[in-house]
């Protein structure tokens, strides 16, 4: 099978469908399942720049490797401290599990992902 470089690269580009395909979450309860649905909706509606920033935030790369997932983990956070966090070496996106609406999650992600200087990353 002859794959072209362009075809292989297209598998790695951050599009809504490729990002959603790479997100992996095992919700522990109905609230976590709801937050994960909201995250996928946010990805579906995101512009290309936001998708690239999300992938870079989680993986320190602007491209997705076909065989690697981004694990989504959730934790309770105080309302004033709610923000996405990433563990880049393990490709883990940590989100507050206590978002109360899609709009709150979207505004929070937009705010933090648009400002690289506010990214909270761990190895």
Chain segment 81-96, per-residue pLDDT in tens: 999 999 988 999 999 9
Q: Above pLDDT 70, what percent of the chain?
A: 86
Give the pLDDT score at 34. Answer: 98
Rounded to 5°, angle at Cα 99 from 96 and 102 = 125
Q: Give the phi and the psi of residue 98 in degrees, each rounded to 5.
A: -105, 30
Q: Does domain 5-122 match CATH 3.90.1150.220?
A: no
Cα–Cα–Cα angle for 34, 18, 29, rounded to 5 degrees: 20
pLDDT at 74 over 90: yes
Q: Where are the domains of the chain?
A: 5-122
């Amino acid at each position: 099978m002859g794959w072209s470089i362009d075809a292989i690269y297209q598998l790695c580009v951050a599009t809504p469908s490729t990002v959603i395909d790479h997100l992996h979450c095992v919700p522990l309860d109905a609230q976590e399942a709801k937050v994960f649905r909201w995250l996928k909706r946010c990805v579906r509606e995101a512009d290309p720049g936001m998708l690239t920033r999300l992938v870079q935030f989680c993986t320190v790369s602007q491209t997705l490797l076909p065989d690697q997932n981004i694990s989504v983990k959730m934790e309770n956070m105080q309302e004033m401290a709610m923000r996405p966090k990433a563990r880049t070496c393990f490709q883990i996106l940590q989100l507050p599990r206590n978002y109360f609406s899609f709009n709150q999650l979207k505004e929070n992600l937009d705010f933090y992902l648009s400002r690289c200087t506010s990214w909270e990353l761990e190895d």
